[in-house]
Amino acid sequence: MLPWVYGFSWETGQIVFLTIFYSVVGILIASCGLAAVRALRDLKSKNLDGIRWHVDFNDLGDFARTCRHVFTGDVSDRICPNGFDCRTCRFHREFAATKIAAGEATAGMAPDREMSRGLRMPLDRLYHRGHTWVRKEADGTLTVGLDEFGKRVLRNGASAELPRAGSMLTVNGKGWFLLKDGSRIRVLSPVDGKVVETGGPGSRFYLRVAPPDDRDLRHLLNGEEIRPWITREIERLQMALASEEVGIDLADGGELVEDLTMNYPDADWDGVWREIFLEP
């Protein structure tokens, strides 16, 4: 095993065998050591939310990770490689540029288009894939709330565990928690910034956030994207609700009924929220 251990000799067979063995052991120790060192660095870096989202995102099903450009038919099939953060996505930038060039705009749409499959999704705001909305206020702050779909899925509301004013939020980090029937549901933050005021389920908004100077909201959904997005989300909800014995039994093309509790009293709601609020 080692030059001074009984049985060792400097012959080719021994050298080759031991070299390979020590290389393998070396590679194993190096890779695990590297992972451990990086893990320690990550722990200190306070980027835990980012890592958690990265891990969660990769565990989402392909259907949940569909790129937003599939909603509008720009591409037929694409899975988001960026964790829903379009701000750094080259693909998104190229598409946005061609659209502006083509003169497509979202302004001036009829009010009835605010209704998406029976849900009121006002177009004066931007939407995050984790079912929160963001509205730009006149004073430069952003208000953040839970969208109609999220509310409907929670059935008769839930209590909230909100961050303190002054705490910092990051996109796709944890925003706040909803408490319902013993489940603690994480809601992703749609924006970066500092919380300046908190609301809650009964209030007009959940959080008011002061964004950083270079605020960038390109990752949020808006306009034409909302309706196809909601259509897909209803499909996703159907999948989550379908018990294995029954299969999908919500008729396709229907509208989301007011109170889902009535229809699915026995569903695994914890699992449904996990699916809808993107926490696999």
Partner 1 sequence: MDRHLVARGAQRAPFRRFALWIAPWAVMLVLGAYAIYLCLSKGLNQTNMDNRFAFGLWIFLDLSIIALGAGAFFTGFLVYIMKRHELRAVLSSAVVLGFICYSGAILILMVDVGQPLRAWFTFWHPNVHSMLTEVTFCITCYLTVLAIEYAPILMKNRKLKDIPAFLVFEFELHKVMPILAGVGTFLSFFHQGSLGGLYGVLQGRPFAFREGIGIWPTTFFLFIVSAVAAGPSFILLTTWLVSKISGKRLVTDNVSRLLARISGILLIVYVLLKSVDTLGWLNKTVPEFGLSGMSFFLWAPFNVWILFLEVVVFGLVPALLLLAGNKQLRVGWLVFSSFLVCCGILLNRFVMTIQTLSLPTLPFDKFMLYSPSWQEVAAFLFVVAYGVIVYSLSFRYLRLFPQEAGAIRLQGD
Binding site for partner 1 (CB under 8 A): 1, 5-7, 13-14, 16-18, 21, 24-25, 27-28, 31-32, 34-36, 38-39, 42-43, 48, 51-52, 54-55, 59, 61-64, 235-236, 239-240, 242-244, 247-248, 268, 270-272, 274-275, 279-280
What is the nearest approach in angstroms of partner 1 to the Cβ of residue 121? 23
Taking the chain, what is the end-to-end CA distance rounded to the nearest angstrom? 47
Three-class SS state of 197: strand
What is the nearest approach in angstroms of partner 1 to the Cβ of residue 37? 8
What is the nearest approach in angstroms of partner 1 to the Cβ of residue 158? 16
- For residues 157 and 271, which CB has a smaller minimum distance to partner 1 in the complex? 271
What is the nearest approach in angstroms of partner 1 to the Cβ of residue 1? 5
**DSSP assignment string, 88-154:** G-HHHHHHHHHHHHTT---TT--GGGGEETTEE--TTSEEETTTEEEEE-TTS-EEEEE-HHHHHHH
What is the nearest approach in angstroms of partner 1 to the Cβ of residue 38? 4
The Cβ of residue 261 has, within 10 Å, a number of other Cβ atoms equal to 11
- For residues 18 and 196, which CB has a smaller minimum distance to partner 1 in the complex? 18
Dihedral sign computed on CA atoms, order 63, 153, 211, 226: positive
Extended strands (E) in 115-257: 115-116, 119-120, 126-128, 132-136, 142-146, 159-161, 168-169, 174-180, 183-188, 193-198, 207-210
- Are 71 and 63 within 8 A, CB to CB? no
Q: How far apart are CA 161 and CA 178, in angstroms?
A: 6
- For residues 16 and 105, which CB has a smaller minimum distance to partner 1 in the complex? 16
Three-class SS state of 178: strand
What is the nearest approach in angstroms of partner 1 to the Cβ of residue 13? 5
- For residues 72 and 238, which CB has a smaller minimum distance to partner 1 in the complex? 238
- For residues 52 and 136, which CB has a smaller minimum distance to partner 1 in the complex? 52
